[in-house]
Structure 1
Amino acid sequence: MSTGIGGVLCCETLSKRHWSELDQTLVGTLADMVAFLYERIYRIETEERMKHLAYVDQTTGLMNQNGFEQTVASILTNSEDGKFIYLVIDQFVTIQEVLGFDGGDQVLQQIADRLTALFPNPSYVARLAMDHFVLFVPSFLATPIDDLLIQLKKPYIIKGQEVYVSYSYGSATYPIHGSSVKECLQNAQIVLSYGKKLSTQSISSLYNPFMKEASQILFDTEFNLRKGLDMQQFSL
């Protein structure tokens, strides 16, 4: 689809010239070629921008969920085993309330920078939403993940003041705890949610199948209780 007139192609001469039919055709063809070139450049830039929006988190510059899943899925096709980390920043809402939205964004940006430095390629880091981050760390990396993540607790300078954060995370190992990126991320999140029920912060746990079963039982119980209340199936 054309975007309309992008400019005017001018031909100048020092003396008066009679434009023949051939001259007009040649100039018209040249103008069409220039217009096509600029239109193509515009479309390429638009496509790149759309791709950026689809796969990159706009606040931190990290991959978003789409970018993370596609990138890591291509790694897993080569049978690369590794660990998925689902990490959240404890009490981030409180931090955002005190520092404001712009201050909260600065915290997220600095955390993203630190995670990227701690887990460079062949590891991958992404931000899913708000204070939720995910990582894929190949199993052959020797340094324990806890030893690296503890660096997140060092202070951040935001608006001229030191800000300390703590974090919690759940982890799942591919292919033991899942056969795909989505399944491993889901199980890592289940671990995190299970741990959060026991304590509010500084949780780190590895996936165990009973956690998923416990979550399913709790969900079914709560759903059936709500349904029973709505249908007035309880009586004193």
Structure 2
Amino acid sequence: MPANAATQQVQEPSPVDRDTLTGLMRGGALEAVLERTIHGKPEGAIGVCVLGIDRFRHINDLLGYDAGDRILREVADRLSRWLPRNGSLARLGGDDFAIVVPGLEEREAMLSGAAILNILEPPIPLDQREIFASASLGLSIYPEDGGSAPQLLRRASLAVARAKARGGGVLERATNPNGLRPEERYQMEGALRRALENNELTLRYQPQVDRDGKLRGLEALLVWNHPELGRVQTETFIRLAEEIGVIAPIGAWVLEAACRQMMAWRQAGLAVPRVAVNVSPLQFSCPHFVEMVRRVLRETGLNGDALELEITEGTILRDIEESAARMRELRSSGVRIAIDDFGVGYSPLTYLHRLPLDVVKVDRTFVSEITKPSGSLPVVHTITVLAHHRGLEVVAEGVETEGELELVRAARCDMVQGYLIGNPVPSAGIAELMMQPERLTTHFHAPWPGGY
């Protein structure tokens, strides 16, 4: 795609359909253009790109809204100069823009995304300073990623969210779970929408043990058993649930089911310390998330200190101040907060002091590398030392071998989780485990080491 192509739009929008700040068409007008293009039965693919300026809220907070508006106009101008002749460009609102280019296959679309990132790299002159405004891009392609304009724009927008979760300044491709053809994906979407009412979702629980092999908690893991597809990989259907807008009811069901199960265990005389529940990025960002958690605790009768919410590092770093405020609200109800997948793709150690956390979960990629020569043992030890300095507990997840167990113990991790300790099992399996706690200490052949 030529970077110096003309900027003529596919169809000029009316003045009412133009954004007053940038002069670009509005999101609704772009969606209509995309829908007309799809209905015209194009011979090739259609590339849909959504762009979001990284940390734009902080630009507004630090420099003021007038400066933010000037940056938006400059970004719009650079994108307009780059836009190919048959492309359409719109401002969706806030700091989000969208581009639609017919005839754009995946490889060309990825190259175009890289070109867009490049044109935004030069600093933006602003009074007596220069502002670097990086962006995150999300890309979806018709017909692979959807058959309608709303689907394609939504999936590109979700890809932007994932790009920002990676730290920004990158391109993220909309996903196609398991390489499904469009008709197969459509069937899976319908099946997932019905999964809750058909009782196809279940929870399994994986134990977390302390340095003596004593049970300290359980992580609730969601499983989808489809009558025809069989067990669907969790990462696949969670991402799909986010894309089609059903993550909120699924997330609420998981939280309520885990809390009710905790109460059932306790009423049966089983002293399960606490249960950890994973929270998706979209779920955590929901304005009513905190109140939903409080409602579930009230309705189930579970004390807040028996619940731990696992939030990924990328989710928190999207907006660290807003995340911290939401976490403080949750902790005011007694809920423990764990940062999950810690250390992947970021430089997060400096952020720990700003977050109201209880637990740091060392990502399994570090654990899997810990036994190799020049492996990750020093990194895990550094994370543990810093976390302990902040009064936080450390969980090593994904422990699968005795060698890994020995070294995460040597690194002074407080708790261990993984297939070596125990597989995820149904609730009945936890009842059996509580009756035979020695099963958790099978691989703890020596006292907890004195340190790294």
Return the TM-score normalized by structure 1.
0.69
Q: Give 1:74-223 correspondences, 5 Å limit.
A: 74-80=36-42, 81-140=45-104, 144-149=111-116, 150-197=118-165, 199-208=166-175, 209=177, 210=236, 211-213=239-241, 218-223=247-252
Q: Which has the higher helix share?
A: 1
Matched, 1:229 2:297: yes
* Per-residue Cα deviation, 1:61-90 (whole angstroms, up to 9, x for no partner): 111111111122222222232111111000
Indicate conservation of the 8 Å contact 2:145/2:174, yes or no.
yes
Aligned pair 1:62/2:24, yes or no? Answer: yes
Closer, same or farther: CA 233–218 of 1 in aligned 2, 3 Å: farther
Separation (CA, whole Å) in 1 of partners of 2:119 and 2:88: 17
Structure 1 residue 214: deviation in Å? 6.0
| Cα RMSD after superposing both structures | 2.4
Task: Kindly provide the CA deviation profile for residues 19-78 of structure 1, in whole angstroms up to 9, marking residues without a partner as x.
Answer: xxxxxxxxxxxxxxxxxxxxxxxxxxxxxxxx523x111111111111111122222222
Q: Distance in 2 between matches of 1:195 and 1:164?
A: 18
CA contact (8 A) 1:190 1:212 kept: no
Contact 2:114 2:171 in 1 (8 A): no
* Alpha-carbon distance in structure 1 between the residues aligned to 2:53 and 2:98: 12
- Percent identity between the aligned chains? 24
Could you say if the C-alpha distance between residues 109 and 137 of structure 1 is closer, same or farther in structure 2, counting changes exceeding 3 Å?
Answer: same
Q: What letter corresponds to residue 29 of structure 2 in structure 1?
A: G
Q: In structure 2, what is the Cα distance between the partners aligned to 1:73 and 1:135?
A: 13
- Secondary structure of the residue that 1:229 maps to in structure 2? helix
* Shift, 1:140, TM fit: 4.4
* Displacement of 1:133: 0.8
The residue matched to 2:297 in structure 1 has which SS? helix
Count of matched residue pairs: 184
Letter in 2 for 1:222: G
SS, match of residue 153 in structure 1? coil
Gaps of 5+ in 2: 1-13, 178-235, 256-291, 307-452
Structure 1 counterpart of 2:15, from 45, 52, 56: 52
TM-score of the superposed pair, with normalisation by structure 2: 0.38
> Which of the two has greater strand per residue?
2
Given that 2:113 and 2:137 are in contact with CA atoms closer than 8 Å, whether structure 1 keeps it comes out as: no
Distance (Å, rounded) in 2 between the aligned partners of 1:101 and 1:231: 43
Native 8 Å contact 2:54 2:164 kept in 1: no
Q: 2:89 is matched by which residue type in structure 1?
A: V
SS class of match (1:231):
helix
Task: Label 1:97 to 1:230 Cα distance change in 2 as closer, same or farther (>3 A).
Answer: same
Decide whether the 8 Å contact of 1:96 with 1:103 is kept in 2.
yes
Distance 2:240 2:160 in 1: 11
Equivalent-residue separation in structure 2 for 1:217 and 1:196 (angstroms): 21
SS of residue matched to 1:189: helix
Greater RCO, CA 8 A, separation 6+: 1
Q: Structure 1 217/196 Cα, relative in aligned 2: closer, same or farther at 3 Å? A: farther
Query: Which structure is larger by alpha-carbon Rg, 1 or 2?
Result: 1
Map 1:23-38 → 2, pairs under 5 A: none
- Asked whether the equivalents of residues 52 and 95 of structure 2 are also in contact (C-alpha less than 8 Å), the reply is yes
Q: CA deviation at 1:161?
A: 2.3
